[in-house]
Amino acid sequence: MQFQNELRNLAKQAKKRKGVLAIYLFGSVARGQQNAKSDIDICIIPEKEKPGMGKIIEMFGAASPGIDLVNFYRLPIQIRYRVFKEGKPIYEKDRHLVSHIISKTISEYLDMKPGLDRIYNAILRGKRKHG
């Protein structure tokens, strides 16, 4: 599969760049549910949230059409949770630190889930009511 070459290239690039803690594949490709129109969803986890991470993500993305690169820290909590729930690591610089981020993400998500569920249910009720 062609996307395997893209993933290997991303891992090689990550090893050469400062500031990248991990890269995860997530979304339909990670779940094995991709189709002909699917893009490849890649989450870059910076060592820390820095303004310069946007430029690093741009450098990764410039050479790879069909790949959707996102900064972990700019994602909503429910998507950050999905990155780890369904995702597959492509590159991890420090597994211990990534494990800490996973634990923190799960904790934040579980804290917010009841409120998110109420919001989603209210939206669904409104759609059913209005059509």
Residue 15: band (very low, low, confident or very high) from pLDDT cuts 50, 70, 90: confident
Q: In what side-by-side order are the strands of the sheet with 88-92?
A: 67-71, 40-46, 20-26, 88-92
In CATH, the number for domain 1-128 is 3.30.460.10
Cα 27 from Cα 3, distance rounded (Å): 13
Strands (E), the chain: 20-26, 40-46, 67-71, 88-92
> The whole model's pTM is what?
0.81
Instruction: Output the pLDDT for position 96.
Output: 97
**Of residues 109, 48, 100, the one with CA closest to residue 76:** 109
Residue 1 has pLDDT above 80, yes or no: no
**Inter-residue contact 90 to 10 (CB < 8 Å):** yes
Q: How many residues does the chain have?
A: 131
